[in-house]
Structure formats: C-alpha cells, structure tokens
Structure 1
Amino acid sequence: MGTDCQTPEASPPPASLRVLARRPEFLALNRGHRAPAGSFLLQGRDRGDGTPGIGVGFTCSKKVGNAVARNRAKRRLREAARLVLPDLGRPGWDYALIGRAGVTADRPFEALLDDLRRALAKVHGAR
C-alpha cells in the first residue's frame, strides 16, 4: 500500500530568544531605533555580529510603581515578547521593552500584543 502524499514545505523554525541581562547590552540599544508604542517604548538595533539569535531585555523604572507593579508589567512584556518576537523579530537584532507608568500593567493583553507588532514594524522600517 503506497500513498503518494506530498509533504508541505516546512516554514523555518522561529529564531531563539536570549535575555539581555548586562548593562552594556542595554546601553548599546540607545544607539539603535526607538518606537514608542501605546503601552511601552521599544528600542531595537542590529548587533551586526552575525549571530542568529534574538536578544530581548525588559525594564521598568520606579515611575511604573512599586515592586509588585513593576514585576507585573515586566511579566506582561515578557509574555508579549515570547509570543511575537520569534515570528516578527529579526535574527541578529536586540530589543528592549521599557514599561510605562500607569499603562503597561493595565492595558488589555491583546492591545499590548498589537502595540508590539506596530512598534516592531516602525523599528524595522526606520532609516
């Protein structure tokens, strides 16, 4: 019994995410592109080192609120990045998502995802 099944072309696997943790990595993003979104600020830049992974970092200042509010905002940003960046982020790029006071923690999650998609389009369309 033979079947002639054609396998569909597989899409390339999404790029892997790595977390930015060191201050120099965040400072290097200041030389990149900025895209204010409704609920956060996105900074992005091409590392130019030829490594394929996507770097992502998260930060919230004390203006966002107490530790509970800052951690909630960062958790939401991490989840949004986990869902969106593997598909829309560019390999070899680093991104920082910077939370905003009174908005990041309270914005509906679908709107937060849309903000990230729009901000990525702005960062990649810049220049």
Structure 2
Amino acid sequence: MRVGFTCSKKVGNAVARNRAKRRLREAARAVLPELGRAGYDYVLIGRFESTASRDFEALKGDLAYALEKVHSA
C-alpha cells in the first residue's frame, strides 16, 4: 500500500501546508494499518482551514469513514 500527501497553495504558506501534511501523515499512520488494504494507493489532500484546524480525533474519524466508504463500493 502506498500513500501520498498533497496540499495546494490555497491551504496557505509553506508553514501551513507542512503542518497540514504532518497532520495527514499522523492520521494515516494511525488509521491505515487497520483499515487500509494491500495493493491500494491512497492520496490524502489537505484542504484550506479544515485540515489544520480540525480536531485530530475527528480527522482520524473522517479518514476511517472515507476508507470504509471506498472499500464498501
């Protein structure tokens, strides 16, 4: 399984983009071993305001929900 992280300049300056990517990396590290599937490639996209300011537990919950939805189809 491979994971990519991206944030556009709409997220903010380099500091804001890196913070958003760090949060996404940690959420992926916590959730993907349980819910991710081998052979899949995942791309997590940081969004303006919501990625950096969202509660971390809610961010992990969002990722878990998205993975369940993707794999149920």
| Superposition TM-score tier, normalisation by shorter sequence | over 0.9
Instruction: Quote the Cα distance in structure 2 between the aligned partners of 1:87 and 1:102.
Output: 27
Counterpart for residue 112 of structure 1: 59
What TM-score does the superposition give when structure 2 sets the normalisation length?
0.97
Counterpart for residue 56 of structure 1: 3
Please state how far the C-alpha of 1:122 moved relative to its aligned partner. 1.1
Instruction: Quote the Cα distance in structure 2 between the aligned partners of 1:59 and 1:125.
Output: 25
What RMSD over aligned residues (CA atoms) do the two structures have, in Å? 0.5
Please state how far the C-alpha of 1:56 moved relative to its aligned partner. 0.3
Greater gyration radius: 1
Mark the runs of 5 or more structure 2 residues left unpaired by the alignment: none
Residue type of the partner of 1:125?
A: S
User: For each residue in 1:21-62, what CA deviation from the matched residue of structure 2 results, as whole angstroms up to 9, or x when unmatched?
Assistant: xxxxxxxxxxxxxxxxxxxxxxxxxxxxxxxxx100000000
The DSSP-based 3-state class of the residue aligned with 1:78 is helix
Residue type of the partner of 2:39?
A: G
Q: Percent identity?
A: 75
Counterpart for residue 32 of structure 2: 85
Give 1 or 2: higher helix fraction.
2
The DSSP-based 3-state class of the residue aligned with 1:104 is helix
Counterpart for residue 95 of structure 1: 42
Please state how far the C-alpha of 1:125 moved relative to its aligned partner. 1.6
Give 1 or 2: higher strand fraction.
1
Counterpart for residue 31 of structure 1: none
What TM-score does the superposition give when structure 1 sets the normalisation length?
0.57
The DSSP-based 3-state class of the residue aligned with 2:50 is coil
Residue type of the partner of 2:70?
A: V
